[in-house]
Structure formats: structure tokens, C-alpha cells
Structure 1
Amino acid sequence: MTPHLRMPYVVTVDAGLRDLRAADHLLRTFAAELGLAEGGFGCTHLVRGERPRVVVSLAPESEAELDEVRAWLVAEGYEVTGGAPDAVGRAVLYRGSGLLSGTMTVGEVLSVSAIDRVTVLGTAGRTPSDRRLVTHGHVRPQWQGGELVLTAMPAVGGTLVPFEVAEPTPCCADH
């Protein structure tokens, strides 16, 4: 389920960011400064149009925590709006995100985190729970159809790796 359905308390912050790495950093900073509970969500959202940018949403577990989050953000000078900008956020902060490091089975990923499903590019159906996933400490699932879904791709030795990598090679890097 999307954070707005599962978590009725959501705010969006537009800090004028242009890239995902900066948005990830901002979300981790918010979590540290605010002492956010492990059960909430922090997501990035791409905004297109005349002013393309990345905004972040925070979905704490309670209305009281949301009021504290909103008050702190406003006091820090951030532009805050109620609700999430869309239903397809890319999750950075979620239950168990800090536990997803090294090599784990898909079943372990699903059991220790808020991730509902792991899909593999180019395949149909469920990913076997005993399939090994090498996380590289960077796991960014996205909300799809009400589920938090991690997209993975095949890697060496029959393992999987998350589709999004922490340090992507820039387009045309060798030109």
C-alpha cells in the first residue's frame, strides 16, 4: 500500500533539489535530526514540468509525530505541504532499510523490511524466496500499485542486484 494509504500522515518538502543523491541525503538528515520512528517512510518524488526537481515526502507513524515534523521543518525554513505529491515514491527511509546490506535471500529481505515484493527485470511471476540478492547497501524500492516493490536485475553467479545502483555511470562517461 502506498504511504498515503498505509500512513495517513504525510508531508512533502520542496527544497529545490535537482538530484536523487541530494534528496537521499536530505531524508537521512531529517530522520537523524527529528529522531523519526523506524515504522515511517521517507520517499523521493520526481517533479516534471517547467521546474524539474526532486521533492521528498515524510510519513511518520502518528499524527502527533507529523505535527512535530511539520513544525520542525517550517522552523528550519522548508516549504512544506500536506500529503504526498504522487503514489509512486522511491523509498529511502522504511522499516528495515538499515538491515539490507551484504548478500541476503529475497525471503530475508521481505521478512526484515517493509518491502512487499521483489521483481526481476525481464521475468514474469514471483521471485523465488531463496534467490540471493547482493544489496551493496543501496536498496531503493518504489511504490507500485499499492506495494513497496524492489526491482532487481540478474548479476554474476546467479545472484540479483538492485536495479538502482548508488554510483551510476554517467551517460557517455567514456566520451
Structure 2
Amino acid sequence: MTPAHGAAGVHTVIGVDAGSANLREADHLIQHLVDGFGLPPGTVACTHLIRTDEHRSTAVSLALPDGGATEAAWTRVVDWAGPDTGAAFGERTHGSPRAARAARLAAEEHAGRRAGRAVSYPGVDALTGTVTVADLLGLSAVDEVVVVGAPSADGGGPDPATAVHTRGHVRPEWRDGRLTLALVPAAGGTLAPFEVPNPTPCCADHG
């Protein structure tokens, strides 16, 4: 990952639970928040499958590049949120208590870089069509790629020159502090993201 895409400036994370039932709905929510609120470059927005005894939903989290931008985004979220939407930012919560708890879980997962499926992140707009592994890592905030079912013997990952058919749908996940993209073998010795575009609700619920 290039230094320009580092997350050293991310100080706070906002969690939002608007009752999204699956990844598709959560993806749409993220696009609404990022585009509708005009969130700044450097924002990383993720989905989180929240499963507790009292609540099941797909919440989202927003990590912004500085504290001022986060405060402004929090104000926009609070103004926008309906009565059934929960939000959390640090010790602050808003809306439905049950949804706010889910939002806090999402924010904590993202802040700790333990979990979260990134939908909007630096460089994602460059990941269209076919790119090489080297370009995928060099042009975006993705830290690492792994090929499902084909662990590298030397830990080096796939050949940087290998083509990746992005299908315009690249969703890396936080794993052990690194934004990691799972790939699968594709035709002609190429690779493709493990997650296909527009997953069905059933597949999304098991994502």
C-alpha cells in the first residue's frame, strides 16, 4: 500500500445501523452516506454482519481522515437518522438503543481493524476492468491479496504481474490489521475477487 493511502490519520470511526438486512442493502447505504454527505477522500467505509442474541443486521462503519471531518459527518448522520436507526461515535450514541449498540460494535471492529468489509476506500475507483496484482496493491488501500485454496509457500502471494478481473466489485476485509482481498483462480491463469458482484440476500447473509 502506498503511503498516501495509509490510515495513520484515522482517529475515529462512526458506526451506523439502519436495519440493512444484507450486504446489498448495506452497500447501498454506504453509497448514500459517502456520496450524499460528500465525505472526504480517504474515507474508508465498511459493512459488518452483526449477530447478537437481541439483534441481527448488517451495520456500516465510516473511518474518516481527521477529527474535524468525523465531527462534521457525525452531525450529518444524527440529522439524517430516522427513529429506528442507531449510530455511535466514541462514547456518543443516537437513535434506537438496540441499533446503537450494533452500530458501536461495527465501529469498534473497524477501529480495531479486526473485521469489516470495505466498500468505499482510497483507490477503489481505479479497480475496474482488468488490473494486475501489482496495480491493485499500488493504486488502492488494499494491503494484501490472498488466493483462496492456494496458500503461497513463501508467503509472497501471487505473481504481481497476474491479471485480476475486478468486475468492478472489489471488497477487501480487515484481517489482523491489514485490508486483505480474497481472490480465486479464473480462466487463463488469471484471478478474480472471491465475492461476486451483487450477491443475493441469501449469499450475503452468509458472507
Question: TM-score with structure 1 length normalisation?
Answer: 0.90
Superposed CA RMSD in Å reads 2.0
Does 1:147 pair with 2:151? no
Q: Kindly tell me: are residues 111 and 5 of structure 1, through their superposed partners in 2, closer, same or farther at Cα, counting changes over 3 Å?
A: closer
Name the structure 1 match of 2:137: 110
Name the structure 2 match of 1:23: 26
Answer whether contact 1:4 1:10 (CA < 8 A) is retained: no
- Alpha-carbon deviation of 1:4? 8.5
Q: Partner amino acid for 1:26?
A: L
Q: Partner amino acid for 2:145?
A: V
Answer whether contact 2:24 2:201 (CA < 8 A) is retained: no
Name the structure 2 match of 1:158: 189
152-161 or 121-130: which moved more?
A: 121-130
Name the structure 2 match of 1:90: 117
Whose helix fraction is larger, Structure 1's or Structure 2's?
A: 2
- Alpha-carbon deviation of 1:168? 3.7
Does 1:9 pair with 2:36? no
- Alpha-carbon deviation of 1:5? 7.1
Does 1:44 pair with 2:85? no
Does 1:167 pair with 2:195? no
Q: Partner amino acid for 1:74?
A: V
Show structure 1 runs of 4+ deviating over 4 A: 3-6
Q: Kindly tell me: are residues 108 and 9 of structure 1, through their superposed partners in 2, closer, same or farther at Cα, counting changes over 3 Å?
A: same
Question: TM-score with structure 2 length normalisation?
Answer: 0.77
